[in-house]
Protein backbone atom coordinates (compact mmCIF):
# COMPACT_ATOMS: atom_id res chain seq x y z
CA UNK A 1 0.00 0.00 0.00
CA UNK A 2 3.04 2.24 -0.03
CA UNK A 3 2.26 3.45 -3.50
CA UNK A 4 -1.13 4.67 -2.35
CA UNK A 5 0.40 6.44 0.63
CA UNK A 6 3.08 7.98 -1.54
CA UNK A 7 0.54 8.99 -4.13
CA UNK A 8 -1.25 11.12 -1.59
CA UNK A 9 1.39 12.13 0.90
CA UNK A 10 4.71 12.22 -0.93
CA UNK A 11 6.26 15.65 -0.94
CA UNK A 12 5.71 17.46 -4.21
CA UNK A 13 8.11 19.60 -6.20
CA UNK A 14 6.65 22.81 -4.86
CA UNK A 15 5.15 25.70 -6.79
CA UNK A 16 7.37 28.76 -7.16
CA UNK A 17 5.55 31.97 -6.49
CA UNK A 18 6.90 33.70 -9.55
CA UNK A 19 6.47 30.76 -11.89
CA UNK A 20 5.08 32.01 -15.21
CA UNK A 21 1.42 31.21 -15.56
CA UNK A 22 0.71 28.78 -18.40
CA UNK A 23 -0.98 30.34 -21.40
CA UNK A 24 -3.15 29.04 -24.22
CA UNK A 25 -3.45 25.31 -24.59
CA UNK A 26 -0.96 24.74 -21.76
CA UNK A 27 -3.34 26.53 -19.44
CA UNK A 28 -6.19 24.32 -20.64
CA UNK A 29 -4.04 21.23 -20.08
CA UNK A 30 -3.12 22.48 -16.60
CA UNK A 31 -6.77 23.04 -15.73
CA UNK A 32 -7.67 19.59 -17.04
CA UNK A 33 -4.84 17.98 -15.11
CA UNK A 34 -5.77 19.77 -11.91
CA UNK A 35 -9.53 19.53 -12.08
CA UNK A 36 -10.21 16.26 -13.88
CA UNK A 37 -11.88 14.69 -10.90
CA UNK A 38 -14.02 17.76 -10.31
CA UNK A 39 -14.98 17.70 -13.98
CA UNK A 40 -16.30 14.18 -13.63
CA UNK A 41 -18.40 15.26 -10.69
CA UNK A 42 -19.46 18.40 -12.50
CA UNK A 43 -20.72 16.30 -15.40
CA UNK A 44 -22.88 14.24 -13.08
CA UNK A 45 -24.19 17.38 -11.43
CA UNK A 46 -25.12 18.82 -14.79
CA UNK A 47 -27.01 15.67 -15.72
CA UNK A 48 -28.79 15.57 -12.38
CA UNK A 49 -29.85 19.21 -12.55
CA UNK A 50 -30.94 18.85 -16.20
CA UNK A 51 -33.31 15.99 -15.62
CA UNK A 52 -36.42 18.21 -15.55
CA UNK A 53 -35.34 19.38 -19.07
CA UNK A 54 -36.64 22.93 -18.55
CA UNK A 55 -33.73 23.44 -16.14
CA UNK A 56 -31.21 22.45 -18.77
CA UNK A 57 -30.16 26.05 -19.60
CA UNK A 58 -29.70 26.92 -15.93
CA UNK A 59 -27.72 23.74 -15.36
CA UNK A 60 -25.58 24.60 -18.38
CA UNK A 61 -25.06 28.10 -17.04
CA UNK A 62 -23.96 26.64 -13.69
CA UNK A 63 -21.60 24.24 -15.46
CA UNK A 64 -20.12 27.10 -17.47
CA UNK A 65 -19.83 29.21 -14.32
CA UNK A 66 -17.87 26.46 -12.55
CA UNK A 67 -15.70 26.01 -15.64
CA UNK A 68 -14.84 29.71 -15.69
CA UNK A 69 -13.92 29.54 -12.01
CA UNK A 70 -11.61 26.62 -12.73
CA UNK A 71 -10.00 28.41 -15.66
CA UNK A 72 -9.41 31.47 -13.50
CA UNK A 73 -7.74 29.23 -10.93
CA UNK A 74 -10.14 30.08 -8.16
CA UNK A 75 -11.30 27.67 -5.53
CA UNK A 76 -14.48 25.71 -6.29
CA UNK A 77 -16.86 24.19 -3.80
CA UNK A 78 -18.55 22.14 -6.46
CA UNK A 79 -22.00 21.42 -5.08
CA UNK A 80 -22.37 24.74 -3.28
CA UNK A 81 -21.15 26.87 -6.15
CA UNK A 82 -23.12 24.90 -8.71
CA UNK A 83 -26.30 25.26 -6.71
CA UNK A 84 -25.67 28.96 -6.16
CA UNK A 85 -25.03 29.58 -9.85
CA UNK A 86 -28.01 27.49 -10.84
CA UNK A 87 -30.37 29.41 -8.57
CA UNK A 88 -28.94 32.87 -9.13
CA UNK A 89 -29.49 32.93 -12.89
CA UNK A 90 -32.28 30.41 -13.24
CA UNK A 91 -34.70 32.78 -15.00
CA UNK A 92 -32.21 34.57 -17.23
CA UNK A 93 -30.39 31.46 -18.32
CA UNK A 94 -33.69 29.71 -19.02
CA UNK A 95 -34.76 32.69 -21.15
CA UNK A 96 -31.47 32.65 -23.04
CA UNK A 97 -31.73 28.91 -23.44
CA UNK A 98 -35.26 29.12 -24.81
CA UNK A 99 -34.27 31.89 -27.22
CA UNK A 100 -31.35 29.84 -28.41
CA UNK A 101 -33.47 26.73 -28.60
CA UNK A 102 -36.03 28.51 -30.78
CA UNK A 103 -33.46 30.17 -33.05
CA UNK A 104 -31.39 27.02 -33.19
CA UNK A 105 -34.42 25.00 -34.26
CA UNK A 106 -35.19 27.56 -36.97
CA UNK A 107 -31.58 27.44 -38.13
CA UNK A 108 -31.59 23.65 -38.21
CA UNK A 109 -34.85 23.58 -40.18
CA UNK A 110 -33.52 26.19 -42.61
CA UNK A 111 -30.31 24.27 -43.19
CA UNK A 112 -32.18 21.01 -43.72
CA UNK A 113 -34.72 22.60 -46.07
CA UNK A 114 -32.12 24.42 -48.18
CA UNK A 115 -29.89 21.33 -48.22
CA UNK A 116 -32.76 19.26 -49.62
CA UNK A 117 -33.53 21.97 -52.16
CA UNK A 118 -29.86 22.33 -53.15
CA UNK A 119 -29.85 18.69 -54.23
CA UNK A 120 -32.25 19.53 -57.05
CA UNK A 121 -31.33 23.17 -57.74
CA UNK A 122 -27.84 24.55 -57.26
CA UNK A 123 -29.25 28.04 -56.80
CA UNK A 124 -30.19 27.01 -53.26
CA UNK A 125 -26.54 26.60 -52.32
CA UNK A 126 -26.40 30.34 -51.59
CA UNK A 127 -29.23 30.38 -49.01
CA UNK A 128 -27.87 27.10 -47.65
CA UNK A 129 -24.50 28.70 -47.07
CA UNK A 130 -26.15 31.67 -45.38
CA UNK A 131 -28.25 29.36 -43.19
CA UNK A 132 -25.21 27.31 -42.17
CA UNK A 133 -23.20 30.45 -41.39
CA UNK A 134 -26.00 32.05 -39.38
CA UNK A 135 -26.59 28.82 -37.46
CA UNK A 136 -22.88 28.53 -36.63
CA UNK A 137 -22.83 32.15 -35.51
CA UNK A 138 -25.89 31.54 -33.36
CA UNK A 139 -24.16 28.58 -31.78
CA UNK A 140 -21.09 30.69 -31.20
CA UNK A 141 -23.14 33.54 -29.78
CA UNK A 142 -24.81 31.12 -27.42
CA UNK A 143 -21.45 29.88 -26.18
CA UNK A 144 -20.41 33.48 -25.54
CA UNK A 145 -23.71 34.35 -23.89
CA UNK A 146 -23.40 31.84 -21.08
CA UNK A 147 -19.84 32.88 -20.31
CA UNK A 148 -20.88 36.54 -20.50
CA UNK A 149 -23.65 35.83 -18.02
CA UNK A 150 -21.00 34.53 -15.65
CA UNK A 151 -18.50 37.31 -16.18
CA UNK A 152 -21.02 40.11 -16.46
CA UNK A 153 -22.87 39.45 -13.24
CA UNK A 154 -25.03 42.44 -12.33
CA UNK A 155 -25.06 43.87 -15.85
CA UNK A 156 -28.21 44.33 -17.89
CA UNK A 157 -29.08 41.57 -20.31
CA UNK A 158 -28.56 43.88 -23.29
CA UNK A 159 -24.95 44.37 -22.22
CA UNK A 160 -24.52 40.63 -22.01
CA UNK A 161 -25.83 40.20 -25.54
CA UNK A 162 -23.73 43.05 -26.85
CA UNK A 163 -20.55 41.82 -25.18
CA UNK A 164 -21.19 38.35 -26.55
CA UNK A 165 -21.73 39.69 -30.04
CA UNK A 166 -18.51 41.69 -29.83
CA UNK A 167 -16.75 38.56 -28.61
CA UNK A 168 -18.06 36.57 -31.57
CA UNK A 169 -16.79 39.20 -33.98
CA UNK A 170 -13.48 39.77 -32.19
CA UNK A 171 -12.47 36.14 -31.71
CA UNK A 172 -14.61 33.75 -33.74
CA UNK A 173 -11.94 31.14 -34.45
CA UNK A 174 -11.20 29.87 -30.92
CA UNK A 175 -14.92 29.52 -30.33
CA UNK A 176 -15.40 27.62 -33.57
CA UNK A 177 -12.45 25.39 -32.74
CA UNK A 178 -14.01 24.66 -29.34
CA UNK A 179 -17.34 23.83 -30.94
CA UNK A 180 -15.48 21.55 -33.33
CA UNK A 181 -13.90 19.73 -30.37
CA UNK A 182 -17.28 19.39 -28.71
CA UNK A 183 -18.66 17.99 -31.95
CA UNK A 184 -15.79 15.51 -32.03
CA UNK A 185 -16.60 14.43 -28.48
CA UNK A 186 -20.16 13.64 -29.45
CA UNK A 187 -19.05 12.08 -32.70
CA UNK A 188 -16.75 9.79 -30.72
CA UNK A 189 -19.69 8.84 -28.55
CA UNK A 190 -21.79 8.00 -31.61
CA UNK A 191 -19.04 6.18 -33.49
CA UNK A 192 -17.83 4.08 -30.61
CA UNK A 193 -21.26 3.30 -29.17
CA UNK A 194 -21.87 1.16 -27.13
CA UNK A 195 -18.24 1.20 -25.95
CA UNK A 196 -18.59 4.93 -25.39
CA UNK A 197 -21.87 4.67 -23.54
CA UNK A 198 -20.43 6.29 -20.42
CA UNK A 199 -18.71 9.13 -22.23
CA UNK A 200 -21.62 11.58 -21.90
CA UNK A 201 -22.18 10.50 -18.31
CA UNK A 202 -18.57 11.12 -17.39
CA UNK A 203 -17.16 14.00 -19.37
CA UNK A 204 -18.98 15.19 -22.45
CA UNK A 205 -20.96 18.01 -20.85
CA UNK A 206 -18.41 19.29 -18.37
CA UNK A 207 -15.50 18.93 -20.75
CA UNK A 208 -17.54 20.60 -23.46
CA UNK A 209 -18.40 23.46 -21.11
CA UNK A 210 -14.77 23.81 -20.06
CA UNK A 211 -13.41 23.82 -23.59
CA UNK A 212 -15.98 26.28 -24.94
CA UNK A 213 -15.66 28.53 -21.89
CA UNK A 214 -11.91 28.48 -22.25
CA UNK A 215 -12.15 29.37 -25.93
CA UNK A 216 -14.66 32.20 -25.64
CA UNK A 217 -13.63 33.69 -22.31
CA UNK A 218 -11.20 36.12 -23.83
CA UNK A 219 -13.71 37.24 -26.43
CA UNK A 220 -16.27 37.93 -23.72
CA UNK A 221 -13.71 39.85 -21.71
CA UNK A 222 -12.89 41.91 -24.78
CA UNK A 223 -16.59 42.59 -25.30
CA UNK A 224 -17.21 43.61 -21.70
CA UNK A 225 -14.15 45.82 -21.47
CA UNK A 226 -15.01 47.42 -24.81
CA UNK A 227 -18.46 48.27 -23.50
CA UNK A 228 -16.97 49.67 -20.32
CA UNK A 229 -14.46 51.68 -22.22
CA UNK A 230 -16.79 53.27 -24.72
CA UNK A 231 -19.40 53.94 -22.06
CA UNK A 232 -16.84 55.63 -19.86
CA UNK A 233 -15.91 57.98 -22.67
CA UNK A 234 -19.52 58.62 -23.63
CA UNK A 235 -19.16 57.59 -27.22
CA UNK A 236 -21.87 54.98 -27.16
CA UNK A 237 -25.44 55.21 -25.94
CA UNK A 238 -26.41 52.82 -23.24
CA UNK A 239 -28.79 50.34 -24.80
CA UNK A 240 -32.30 50.27 -23.37
CA UNK A 241 -32.94 47.11 -21.38
Partner 1 sequence: MAGISLRKVRKSFGAVTVVHDIDLEIADKEFIILVGPSGCGKSTTLRMIAGLEEVTSGDLIIGDTIVNDVPSKDRDIAMVFQNYALYPHMTVYKNMAFGLELRRSPREVIDKKVHEAAEILDIEHLLNRRPKALSGGQRQRVALGRAMVRSPAVFLLDEPLSNLDAKLRSAMRSQITKLHRRLDATFIYVTHDQVEAMTMADRIVVMNDGCIQQVDTPQMLYDNPVNMFVAGFIGAPQMNFLDVTIRKANGAAVAEFAGQPLPLPAKLGERIAGEYEGRTCVLGLRPENFHERTPADVDPALTAPMPVDVELAEPMGPEVHLNAMLGGHAIVAKVSPRCRATHGDRLTLTADLTAAHLFDKQTEQALVA
If one asks whether residue 20 binds partner 1 (CB under 8 A), the answer comes out as: no
Out of 10, 119, 232, 240, which residue is the one contacting partner 1 (CB under 8 A)? Answer: 10
| Contact in structure between 220 and 147 (CB atoms under 8 Å) | yes
Return phi, psi of residue 233, to 5°: -95, 5
Find the helix or strand (DSSP H, E) in which 113 lies.
helix 90-120
Span from 13-21, 52-60, 107-115, 219-227 in contact with partner 1 (CB under 8 A): 13-21
Out of 1, 2, 12, 121, which residue is the one contacting partner 1 (CB under 8 A)? Answer: 12
For partner 1, give the closer residue by CB, 73 or 116: 73
Taking CB under 8 A as the criterion, which residues in 52-81 touch partner 1? 73-75, 77
User: Using CA atoms, how far apart are residues 191 and 49, in angstroms rounded to an integer?
Assistant: 27
If one asks whether residue 34 binds partner 1 (CB under 8 A), the answer comes out as: yes
If one asks whether residue 154 binds partner 1 (CB under 8 A), the answer comes out as: no
For partner 1, give the closer residue by CB, 16 or 52: 16
User: Using CA atoms, how far apart are residues 171 and 152, in angstroms rounded to an integer?
Assistant: 18
Q: How far is the CB of 35 from partner 1 (least distance, A)?
A: 9
Distances (CA, A) of 98 to 70, 92, 95, 115: 27, 10, 5, 25
If one asks whether residue 3 binds partner 1 (CB under 8 A), the answer comes out as: no
User: Using CA atoms, how far apart are residues 219 and 145, in angstroms rounded to an integer?
Assistant: 11
For partner 1, give the closer residue by CB, 2 or 75: 75
Number of residues that this document lists for the chain: 241
CA 51 and chain centroid, separation: 19
| Contact in structure between 188 and 196 (CB atoms under 8 Å) | yes
Span from 10-18, 132-140, 182-190, 194-202 in contact with partner 1 (CB under 8 A): 10-18
For partner 1, give the closer residue by CB, 31 or 128: 31
Query: Which residues of this chain interact with partner 1, rule CB under 8 A?
Result: 7-15, 17, 34, 73-75, 77
Amino acid sequence: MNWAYNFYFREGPGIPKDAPKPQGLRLLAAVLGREWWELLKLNLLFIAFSLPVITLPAAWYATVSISVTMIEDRNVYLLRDFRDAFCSRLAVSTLVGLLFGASGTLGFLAVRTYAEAAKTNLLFVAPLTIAVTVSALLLLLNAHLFVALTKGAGRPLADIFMASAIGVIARPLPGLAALFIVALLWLAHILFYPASVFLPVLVNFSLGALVTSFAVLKGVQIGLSYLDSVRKHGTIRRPKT
